[in-house]
Structure 1
Amino acid sequence: MPIAQAGTFHNGWTYAIDSFNDGFDEGLIGEDSPVEIYGLATKEEGDRLYFAFNSNLGLNGVPKRRAYNNRISYGDLFLNFSDSDALNLATDDVYAIRFNASNDTPQRVGLYQNPSAASLTQANLGFAKRDSYHAAVENLGGAISYGDVAADYFANDPSSPTTLYGGSLIGGIEFTSDLAALDLDFGHFGATGEHTVGFSVDRNLLPHESFIAHLFIESGNEGIALSSGDRHDDPVQSKEVSEPSLGLALSLISLLPLQKLTKFWGTQRS
């Protein structure tokens, strides 16, 4: 079974490099897919914690007539500071960042503590379960990867936790336009997606420990995770969820029809 590896360090950044042919969109993967993610990176400098990713997907998303909000965009970035071998969103050690104002998230852009999460995969033309996404990619000759973690990291939820829908807003974010000045270099790894996006948050608002960051697109048909340090020496194992209602809640939200999702988000937006 694959091991969750620490990210690769280069020029002050820690990188996770994804498979270049696992972003599935209407039968396309790889460079032809508008949702292919190539890499995710992080860097701490002064009191700022930077994140950047390279992808074929821009912040405006991909127009899709049958998708919720008529587009598929990025979900939200989740940060797991716990030492668990599997993601458990029902802990105090998880934070989330909404960086994309055009996605389906009802919360404001910013950094959140104690976030809740939803899977909006089916509302965005994705699969009900990740295994179905894996099979679709493999049938096209692609290779599934989640960067620095094995798929079992997400074993507590059969769908993909894509979207922030609750939590306490504790800080803002700052977009970074001149990433080259910060020595970001996805090209060193052959990651040459059409878009590179970067932003930062106040490092002092987060635990000063290593973390695993993960990001899915809203369909769940592409995702990547980055390990900021040596967190896992053993193979990633599936764990029992300490809060069994969490997986059920996420599954129920992912199965809501669009009209009920609209009503649900309407009660969440401020």
Structure 2
Amino acid sequence: MLNYTAKLSISAKFIPIATVCGLLFATGESAQAATFALNEDTTVDTFTECVNDGIALKVGKNPVDESGWQYAIDSFNDGVDGLQVGGDGNPYEIYSLALKETKDSLFVAINGNMSLTGVDGTSAEDGNIGWGDLFFNFTDQDFTTANNQGDLFGVRFAGTNDSLVPNLGLYGNVTAISTTDINSGFESLAEYNQRVNDFCQGAGCGPSLGDLPADTSYFDQSQSLNTISSGEFLTSLMYLSESELLAAGYDLNRFDGEHTIAFKFDKSGICDRGYCTSVPEPSAGLGLAALGLMVGVSQLRKRYSA
């Protein structure tokens, strides 16, 4: 006789599949294809220009909430400001990175203490230390390999930073460089980790990169690549207001950073380069609701085939 847990497992396998099939047939129309850029190999990251903090989100590491957002949460106590690590008001502290994918767009929200225009009056060559760029890696390669092969995508979202591409927006065929030398920053991630370990105090003490450990092999620990060096411009971005974020289901009250920087961009340039996966979608009636169930079925199949 099957125990209760086994019965639930069987139900989890078959009920969602039957539900989706019913939805597809209920439309009375042939299925079309919907495309998804975010997959279980996707890693997204951003650092400050001085690599005084950084965060990475690994797709699938954390559950997607009911509004379609997934969140990477960084240590609240590992931003470096000179010899100060963490602490209230530390301008370089990063709290979270969040992503959401819709049929046409990718949404990004970064919560931290630094504004979009960065920190003025610093020892950087231009007197300003701001955000680096945001990198998307849709492959199963580490960052260095993807960078060397031109497989990265990058988003310049801060107009005051030292990125070597001219416009705000999404770029393909990206290569990355470090701008820490002109921003009074760390030459390597290993140096950043050591500074945090030497000077941090209190709860949650220790370096973190969100979904990745600070000493992760995903990054070359001897480097500090944080900015786009070159790339092909694909599309512009659109900044999102608090009301637009709320309408998109983002949890504005979840994190304590002084600023939430949010934007979205069209993902067609990513899909056109073969980095998106297609799944059936009803052509009318149910739209993204059925699409979400299809994604759930895919995850369940992976879970029970392991």
Please confirm whether the aligned pair reaches a TM-score higher than 0.5, indicating the same fold: yes
Q: What's the counterpart of residue 281 of structure 2?
A: none
Q: Does the residue aligned with 1:96 lie in a helix, a strand or coil? A: strand
Taking the aligned partners of 1:138 and 1:187, their CA distance within structure 2 comes to 29
The amino acid that maps onto 2:64 is F
Q: What's the counterpart of residue 133 of structure 1?
A: 192
Q: What's the counterpart of residue 185 of structure 1?
A: 251
The amino acid that maps onto 2:207 is I
Are the equivalent residues in 1 in contact too, given 2:186–2:224 (CA < 8 A)?
no
Q: What's the counterpart of residue 100 of structure 2?
A: 43
Dislocated runs of 4+, deviation >4 Å: none
Q: What's the counterpart of residue 233 of structure 2?
A: 169
Distance apart, 1:13 and its partner CA: 0.1
Q: What's the counterpart of residue 283 of structure 2?
A: none
Aligned length: 207
The amino acid that maps onto 2:228 is L
Instruction: List gaps (5 residues or longer) in structure 1.
Output: 210-229, 231-270
Q: What's the counterpart of residue 109 of structure 1?
A: 168
Taking the aligned partners of 2:168 and 2:210, their CA distance within structure 1 comes to 25
Taking the aligned partners of 1:132 and 1:144, their CA distance within structure 2 comes to 11
Alignment partner of 1:147 out of 207, 210, 222? 210
Q: CA RMSD in A?
A: 2.2
The amino acid that maps onto 2:188 is K
Q: Does the residue aligned with 1:9 lie in a helix, a strand or coil? A: coil
Q: What's the counterpart of residue 64 of structure 2?
A: 9
The alpha-carbon distance between structure 1 residues 170 and 52, as it changes in their structure 2 partners (threshold 3 A), is same
Which shifted more, 152-161 or 73-82?
A: 152-161
Question: Identity of aligned pairs, percent?
Answer: 35
Taking the aligned partners of 1:61 and 1:147, their CA distance within structure 2 comes to 21
Larger radius of gyration: 2
2:280 is the alignment partner of 1:208 = no
The amino acid that maps onto 1:111 is L
Q: What's the counterpart of residue 94 of structure 1?
A: 152
Which shifted more, 32-41 or 122-131?
A: 122-131
Are the equivalent residues in 1 in contact too, given 2:151–2:174 (CA < 8 A)?
no
Taking the aligned partners of 1:203 and 1:162, their CA distance within structure 2 comes to 22
Q: Does the residue aligned with 1:133 lie in a helix, a strand or coil? A: helix
Taking the aligned partners of 2:92 and 2:156, their CA distance within structure 1 comes to 18
Q: What's the counterpart of residue 113 of structure 2?
A: 56
The amino acid that maps onto 2:148 is A
2:88 is the alignment partner of 1:31 = yes
Which shifted more, 149-158 or 59-68?
A: 149-158
Taking the aligned partners of 1:147 and 1:186, their CA distance within structure 2 comes to 18
Which shifted more, 128-137 or 93-102?
A: 128-137
Instruction: List gaps (5 residues or longer) in structure 2.
Output: 1-57, 278-298, 300-306
Taking the aligned partners of 1:160 and 1:154, their CA distance within structure 2 comes to 12
The alpha-carbon distance between structure 1 residues 157 and 136, as it changes in their structure 2 partners (threshold 3 A), is closer
Are the equivalent residues in 1 in contact too, given 2:169–2:233 (CA < 8 A)?
yes
The alpha-carbon distance between structure 1 residues 155 and 73, as it changes in their structure 2 partners (threshold 3 A), is same
Q: What's the counterpart of residue 35 of structure 2?
A: none
Which shifted more, 149-158 or 23-32?
A: 149-158
Taking the aligned partners of 1:72 and 1:181, their CA distance within structure 2 comes to 32
Distance apart, 1:162 and its partner CA: 0.8
Taking the aligned partners of 1:128 and 1:154, their CA distance within structure 2 comes to 17
Q: Does the residue aligned with 1:102 lie in a helix, a strand or coil? A: coil
The amino acid that maps onto 1:132 is E
Q: What's the counterpart of residue 223 of structure 2?
A: 159
The alpha-carbon distance between structure 1 residues 136 and 98, as it changes in their structure 2 partners (threshold 3 A), is same
Distance apart, 1:106 and its partner CA: 2.7
Deviations 1:130-182 (A, max 9, x none): 22211211222331111112332444351211111211111111111121111
Are the equivalent residues in 1 in contact too, given 2:157–2:168 (CA < 8 A)?
yes
Are the equivalent residues in 1 in contact too, given 2:142–2:219 (CA < 8 A)?
no
